[in-house]
Amino acid sequence: MLCKRGAIAVRALEPLPFIFFANVSQRGLNGHVVHLCSSAGFTPNVVQEAEDGGAILGLVAAGFGVAVLPQCYGQIVVRDVVQRTLRSAEAKSHICIAYNQDRTSDQLMRFVALGSGSATAD
């Protein structure tokens, strides 16, 4: 994936066709993208949906539109696809962990500490 420098404004995406995830498990990301676009004053024109990120990147490479994807997809090299960061304070996702406090293990608590930034090296 060709990385270009400099973030772009979400508003710059308004005239472009969008490719979204079709998979129900990715609806949260789609909703986040709709929110980003709405905050920028427009509704995304979704022209294609695909089941996974690899298929979305293929559709982008084929010229069907643009996609807003998690940063981890930047590790996938696709010819002629350019990755740019979005210039928006809202263009970040937050995740959380839910667990039963009465059913913990040492491994779980190390994982929780890692996620909170308070992990220590063993």
- Alpha-carbon span 67 to 59, nearest angstrom: 9
- Alpha-carbon span 79 to 83, nearest angstrom: 11
Average pLDDT of 35-39?
93
8-34 pLDDT per residue, tens: 999 999 999 999 999 665 568 898 899
Would you tell me how many other CB atoms lie within 10 Å of the CB of residue 52? 12
Percent of the chain with pLDDT over 70: 83
70-93 pLDDT per residue, tens: 888 888 888 889 888 888 777 776
Residue found by looking up tokens 């979704």 in the block: 46
CB burial of residue 106 (10 Å; 0-12, 13-18, 19+): exposed
pLDDT score at 122: 46
Question: What is the average pLDDT score of the chain?
Answer: 84
42, 14 contact by CB (below 8 A): yes
